[in-house]
Amino acid sequence: MSSILQLFDFISQDTIIIAATNQLQMIDEALIRRFDLTIKIDLPTPIQVHSLVQYTIKDRFKFDNEKAKEEIINKECNNLSYYVIKQALLNAIKRNVLDGYDNNVIRTDIWKKLLHDKRIG
């Protein structure tokens, strides 16, 4: 840790450093103080997850079960990051193709399992 702090002392004033973490409690306070600005990005709400899903699938895909999709968005996506939700959705699409299913339909059972696996993994 001390070597990272020492490197900050040699960085030019016109340099911009961008850092990100989802484990802020694990970062030494001395390192955090070296940054002039912090921006907190909250976990997505169900409305934001809807937007993320629509942006990701761009009307190219549909879900096999709309009711299950809504349940996943409102329950399974709770307390997960944008990244985890999007990656699980993309992986569900890939699984459809690899498993030989209609590659324009997203199987909600697969998406739900992938989200569950991320939560416990």
Whether the full predicted model's pTM is greater than 0.85, yes or no, is: no
More confident residue, 72 or 32: 72
Binned at pLDDT 50, 70 and 90, residue 1 comes out as: low
Residue 76 three-state SS: helix
pLDDT tens, residue by residue, 53-99:
999 999 899 999 999 999 999 999 999 999 999 999 999 999 988 98
For residue 63, list its beta bridge partners. 106
Residues 6+ apart with CB under 8 A from 37: none
Query: Which pLDDT value is given to residue 109?
Result: 96
Binned at pLDDT 50, 70 and 90, residue 23 comes out as: confident
Other Cβ atoms within 10 Å of 90 Cβ, number? 15
Tracing tokens 């694990």 back to the chain, one arrives at 26
